[in-house]
């Protein structure tokens, strides 16, 4: 074993708690463990009854600690399972949701935070990108309720551009559709850059009353005074300039994701944890959970991507003919 810093040979220094050989550098005193294969325990739990039960509980709004008490798994094990499931869900969503014909897409952002709120940051943390506000951009098809794309980031042009790039890959380039967003200025550049003439683009500009008293502002949203439909370019239908459906999806996220529930201590402590939870939530919502307004069908079924509702285990194993060709 060679020291990563001093580039000198290390001496043996006992065993790690997992049985692997440890080494120590005589120059700088740093300790290292011999190279080893990635722990596959989390992947094993993805096909295990307890592991799947823990993921289902998290999908239905339970916290990691409550899932731990119910399943008997350690909370750190559940977090490892969540990371493995989130990575797999993200890949499967990108694989199956692409070139989808759509007619009416709505986009919005939902606020959350990681580790601590922005006002509580101090010192060098202010420049750390993964602490504080965490905005989730969501795009939903109005008729099928399919979540086409999502992006975790800040309310910046860079995050909006990545989000619109994902939306462009998810939707069919052969069919023009109407796109409605809120009044976030970053959308103007992102939509023009990534979607260009593929959409009829409009914004719903919302005007709120003056800020309410501190107590009301903290526990309830500001009162909406007026919503102004504003065509941006193309030929959008003013009667369809609406963001109600994607805002209803925001409520579903707050109800089904403990990390986004307000005034609790269930918030994400790491950016990667929130990203994994989002991937799991949207995969479960699209492919596994029947939608009430679709008469027992899932959004993926309504969009022609899947043939039936799939269990979480089936989706994670990519079984059951999920591809549209099978439908």
SS (H, E, C) the chain: CECCCCCCECEEEEECCCCCEEEECCCCCCEEECCCCCCCHHHHHCCCHHHHHHHHHHHCCCCHHHHHHHHCCCHHHHHHHHHHHHHHHHHHHHHHCCCECCCEEEEEEEEEEECCCHHHCCHHHHHCCCCEEEEEEEEEECCCCCEEEEEEECCCHHHHHHHHHHHHHHECCCCCEEEEECCCCHHHHHHHHHCHHHEEEEEEEEEECCCCCHHHHHHCCCCEEEEEEEEEECCCCHHHCCCHHHHHHHHHHHHHCHHHCCCCCCCECCHHHHHHHHHHHHHHHHHHCCCHHHCCCCHHHHCCCCCCCCCHHHHHCCCCCCCCCCC
Q: What pLDDT was estimated at residue 8?
A: 84
CATH code of the domain made up of 100-267: 3.30.420
Q: What pLDDT was estimated at residue 191?
A: 95
DSSP classification of residue 132: E
Q: What pLDDT was estimated at residue 326?
A: 44
Question: Domain locations in the chain?
Answer: 1-36, 41-86, 100-267
Band of residue 325 on the pLDDT scale cut at 50, 70, 90: very low
Judge whether residue 107 has pLDDT over 90.
yes
Among 123-132, 180-189, 194-203, the range scoring the smallest mean pLDDT is: 123-132
SS3 content of the chain, % helix, strand, coil (to 5): 40, 20, 35
Judge whether residue 215 has pLDDT over 60.
no
66 in helix, strand or coil? helix
DSSP classification of residue 54: H
280-304 pLDDT, tens digit per residue, is 999 999 999 999 999 889 999 999 9
Please name the residue that has the structure tokens 């999806």.
Answer: 249
Q: Which of 304, 228, 233, 254 is nearest to 138 (CA)?
A: 254
31-45 pLDDT, tens digit per residue, is 888 876 555 566 667
Q: What pLDDT was estimated at residue 90?
A: 94
pTM of the model: 0.83
Q: What pLDDT was estimated at residue 327?
A: 44
Q: What pLDDT was estimated at residue 273?
A: 93
Burial of 112 (0-12, 13-18, 19+ CB in 10 A): buried
d(CA 306, CA 3): 51
222-279 pLDDT, tens digit per residue, is 777 888 899 999 999 999 999 999 999 999 999 999 999 988 888 999 999 999 999 9
Q: What pLDDT was estimated at residue 29?
A: 86
Judge whether residue 79 has pLDDT over 80.
yes
Average pLDDT, the chain: 87
Are 79 and 266 a contacting pair, CB within 8 Å?
A: no
Judge whether residue 217 has pLDDT over 60.
no
* Per-residue tokens: 18: 């997992």
**CB atoms near residue 36 (< 10 Å):** 11
Q: What pLDDT was estimated at residue 108?
A: 95
Band of residue 319 on the pLDDT scale cut at 50, 70, 90: low
């Amino acid at each position: 074993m060679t020291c990563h810093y001093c580039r000198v040979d290390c001496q043996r220094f006992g065993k790690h708690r997992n049985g692997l050989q440890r080494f120590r550098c005589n120059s700088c005193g740093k300790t290292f463990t011999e190279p080893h294969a990635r722990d596959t325990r989390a992947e094993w739990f993805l096909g295990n009854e307890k592991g799947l039960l823990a993921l289902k509980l998290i999908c239905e709004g339970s916290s990691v600690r409550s899932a731990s008490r119910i399943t008997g798994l350690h909370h750190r094990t559940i977090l490892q399972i969540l990371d493995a499931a989130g990575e797999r869900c993200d890949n499967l969503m990108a694989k199956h949701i692409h070139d989808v014909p759509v007619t009416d897409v709505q986009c919005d952002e939902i606020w959350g935070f990681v580790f601590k709120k922005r006002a509580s940051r101090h010192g060098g943390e202010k420049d750390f990108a993964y602490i504080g506000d965490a905005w989730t951009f969501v795009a939903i098809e109005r008729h099928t309720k399919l979540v086409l794309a999502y992006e975790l980031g800040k309310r910046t042009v860079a995050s909006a551009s990545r989000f619109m790039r994902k939306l462009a890959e998810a939707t069919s380039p052969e069919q023009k559709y109407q796109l409605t967003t809120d009044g976030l200025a970053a959308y103007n550049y992102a939509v023009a850059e990534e979607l260009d003439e593929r959409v009829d683009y409009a914004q719903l500009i919302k005007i709120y009353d003056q800020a309410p008293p501190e107590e009301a502002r903290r526990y309830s949203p500001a009162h909406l005074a007026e919503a102004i439909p504003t065509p941006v370019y193309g030929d959008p239908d003013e009667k369809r300039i609406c963001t109600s459906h994607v805002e209803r999806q925001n409520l579903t996220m707050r109800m089904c994701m403990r990390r986004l529930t307000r005034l609790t201590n269930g918030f994400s402590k790491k950016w990667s944890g929130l990203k994994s939870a989002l991937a799991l939530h949207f995969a479960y919502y699209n492919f596994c959970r029947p939608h009430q307004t679709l008469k027992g069908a899932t959004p993926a079924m309504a969009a022609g991507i899947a043939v039936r509702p799939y269990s979480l285990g089936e989706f994670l194993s990519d079984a059951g003919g999920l591809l549209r060709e099978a439908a």
